[in-house]
Amino acid sequence: MPSILSELDAVARAAFETLGYPAAIAAVRESDRGDAPYQCNGAMAAAGIAKKRGEKVNPRDIAAQAVEIMQANAAMGQLDIAGPGFINITPADALLTTRANALLSDPTSGLRVESPQTIVVDYGGANVAKPMHVGHLRSAVLGEAIKRILRAQGHKVIGDVHMGDWGLQMGHLISELAEEQPNLPYFDETYTGEYPSESPVTMDDLARLYPAASNKAKSDTDRMEASRVATAQLQSGRRGYRALLDHFINVSVAALKVGYGNLGVEFDLWKGEACVDPLIPDMIEGLKTSGITELDDGALIINVDDKWDPKTRKGTPPVMLLASSGAVLYHTTDLATLVDRKAEIDPDMIVYVVDQRQALHFEQVFRAAVKADWYERDQLFHAGFGTMNGKDGKPFKTREGGVLRLEDLMEIMSDAARDRLDASGIGADFDAEERAEIGRKVGLAALKFADLQNQRMTNYIFDPERFTAFEGKTGPYLLYAVVRIKSILRKAKDMGVSAGVIAVAADTETQLVIALDSYARAIEYSAEKYTPHVLCEHIYRVAQSFSRFYADCPILADDVADEVKASRLALATATLAQLEHGLNLLGIEAPERM
């Protein structure tokens, strides 16, 4: 069934239309004042319209006329006119009750969109060989939430990790391995046999080889040249290097699957830059033929801004398809990926969940893809995000100054969560295993919620202490709310009380139902702007509304009548279902108890 708000909205719009005003001015919204839960401000706009028509009418009179029409509808409980002509609306108890019971039987009621789209979410973006670090955290956490939110609306959503596996880092690995183990068949250009199926390196080797090479290359130009040559030979198809690349990718993907898995992040596609390489020659030929490429100092470019001025560097610089050396660049692989996605998926929409510092890159790529006539501009969206900073306000680093690895970050969070649990005595009587599991879940919830609750463009400070607090707008607070309802339900079961039909009576119940009612709107808004923080706000509001309801309306107390128990228990059940559904969309999992 539609939401309470949309029912009221339809009635108000119809009333204003009957009075000869455009329906749009009568939009109903949740009230920010305490007088009534909803309000309609159409009368003021209507008076303005009337004035333009040369009529002189008082907005309060228009409001009175509208109220008279609206009153006839059973959805309306109480209607009051306030101030210059605001209409305060309290929905009828019957409407609240019907809606509450609809949410009880289907917590996803009203979430689905009418025309689902095919949407690719490009997120994660980890680099092969380099261990995942905190910079990839936000992309994974935000991207996963965006993917799940869009999926909940019924869209067909494909999450693609789009690994970085085609740059200089591959040349570094190859040349470093060549120094370490020159006798491997991959380095023998006369070798024509099959290469071993077993990888010559482990993830630990990769994590060691890459920094070794990159450090040497910083001070040694010959060493750098060796990596460049290896990259170029790999990209122009040297057989042994290709075979090595496959090993590197397989080893990395296996490790990444573990890392992302621990974070609760899953991808549908494990594609990367390397896998679209075979498409590049044809793509370049096609772009040349279409006449949009130019040669610039030996490099092949696409101009994407008529006003671009290379001297002042004002405007959007051109896309670089091929460097003068013939090397393929970041623009090129992203464009080839667009070609690949068009052919394989033909998406209505592609959303890139990538650090805001790459905004220019995406602007350039999008413009080129539009200029090439592959996509419309509004099919491509860069959902950028700010950085997670240390207390010094700079992107977060370890105490030693290095980038923090994701594993270590998760450990910091679990530790902080466990300290909190110990300090508060929560879960004190559980065994060590369960306590560790609770610590992990609380730590992860703390980290994810802290990340997601900010508008994605804002930077935020990594503060495990604050993130793990059980009070305030935090992940642990929400988990606690969920666990508390679960324990009420368990207790009810033990007492033989079961949920019945919800009959909304108390004010705190009305407020809780009104909060639950706005779920679909929060999802809609989050989906439209790719901003999960709106959903976070919503979940927090529901948890708080539940808390107020429960303080006001005991569920299992002896003096509560059976019918009332059953109704309140049902309302708690509906609340739990929505909290769990919403938290799941944020990628947050609650323990059974704590």
Q: Of the two residues 36 and 369, which places its CB atom closer to ligand ARG in the complex?
A: 369
To ligand ARG, the closest distance from the beta carbon of 402 in angstroms equals: 16
The region of 122-130, 492-500, 527-535, 557-565 touching ligand ARG under the rule CB under 6 A is: 122-130
CA–CA dist 319, 329 (Å, integer): 10
Sign of the alpha-carbon dihedral angle for 277, 279, 285, 287: negative
CA–CA dist 5, 13 (Å, integer): 12
To ligand ARG, the closest distance from the beta carbon of 216 in angstroms equals: 22
Q: Of the two residues 127 and 518, which places its CB atom closer to ligand ARG in the complex?
A: 127
User: Which parts of 536-575 interact with ligand ARG (CB under 6 A)?
Assistant: none
The region of 119-127, 192-200, 241-249, 415-423 touching ligand ARG under the rule CB under 6 A is: 119-127
The region of 121-129, 317-325, 490-498, 504-512 touching ligand ARG under the rule CB under 6 A is: 121-129
Q: Of the two residues 132 and 416, which places its CB atom closer to ligand ARG in the complex?
A: 132
* Binds ligand ARG (CB under 6 A): choice among 7, 9, 122, 517: 122
Ranges of beta strands (E only) in 371-424 are: 380-382, 388-389
Q: Is 9 one of the binding residues for ligand ARG (CB under 6 A)?
A: no
Sign of the alpha-carbon dihedral angle for 485, 486, 488, 493: positive
CA–CA dist 386, 378 (Å, integer): 22
To ligand ARG, the closest distance from the beta carbon of 114 in angstroms equals: 30
To ligand ARG, the closest distance from the beta carbon of 387 in angstroms equals: 13
To ligand ARG, the closest distance from the beta carbon of 334 in angstroms equals: 5
To ligand ARG, the closest distance from the beta carbon of 452 in angstroms equals: 19
Angle 97-100-102 from CA coordinates, rounded to 5°: 110
Give one word for 309, left, alpha or beta, with left for phi > 0 and alpha for psi -120 to 50: beta
The region of 120-128, 445-453, 471-479, 544-552 touching ligand ARG under the rule CB under 6 A is: 120-128
Estimate the crossing angle of helix 533-552 against helix 519-529, to 10 degrees. Answer: 160
To ligand ARG, the closest distance from the beta carbon of 364 in angstroms equals: 12
User: Which parts of 125-144 interact with ligand ARG (CB under 6 A)?
Assistant: 125, 127
Q: Of the two residues 230 and 354, which places its CB atom closer to ligand ARG in the complex?
A: 354
Which amino acid is present at 148? R
For residue 127, give the 3-state DSSP assignment. strand
To ligand ARG, the closest distance from the beta carbon of 127 in angstroms equals: 5
To ligand ARG, the closest distance from the beta carbon of 162 in angstroms equals: 4
User: Residues of 226-245 as b/e, b for ≥16 C-beta within 10 angstroms?
Assistant: bbbebbbbbbeebebbbbbb
Closest residue by Cα to residue 145 from 380, 461, 453, 470: 453
* Binds ligand ARG (CB under 6 A): choice among 205, 334, 451, 517: 334
To ligand ARG, the closest distance from the beta carbon of 235 in angstroms equals: 17
Q: Of the two residues 185 and 386, which places its CB atom closer to ligand ARG in the complex?
A: 386
Q: Of the two residues 132 and 224, which places its CB atom closer to ligand ARG in the complex?
A: 132
Closest residue by Cα to residue 145 from 414, 462, 526: 526
Q: Which secondary-structure segment (H or E) carries 295? A: strand 293-296
Cα–Cα distances in Å, from 63 out to 35, 38, 97?
16, 15, 27
Strands across the sheet containing 349-352: 156-160, 118-122, 349-352, 380-382
Number of residues near ligand ARG (by CB under 6 A): 8
Q: Of the two residues 125 and 582, which places its CB atom closer to ligand ARG in the complex?
A: 125
Strands across the sheet containing 38-40: 28-30, 38-40, 86-91, 76-82
Tokens of 12: 């108000």
CA–CA dist 535, 63 (Å, integer): 33
CA–CA dist 186, 238 (Å, integer): 9
Write the binding mask 156 to 175 for ligand ARG: x where contact by CB under 6 A, - elsewhere.
------x-x-----------
- Strand pairing class (38-40; 86-91): antiparallel
Q: Of the two residues 120 and 213, which places its CB atom closer to ligand ARG in the complex?
A: 120
Q: Of the two residues 65 and 316, which places its CB atom closer to ligand ARG in the complex?
A: 316
To ligand ARG, the closest distance from the beta carbon of 352 in angstroms equals: 6
To ligand ARG, the closest distance from the beta carbon of 179 in angstroms equals: 26
Q: Of the two residues 9 and 122, which places its CB atom closer to ligand ARG in the complex?
A: 122
User: Which parts of 338-397 interact with ligand ARG (CB under 6 A)?
Assistant: 352, 354
Residues at the contact surface with ligand ARG, assessed by CB under 6 A: 122, 125, 127, 162, 164, 334, 352, 354
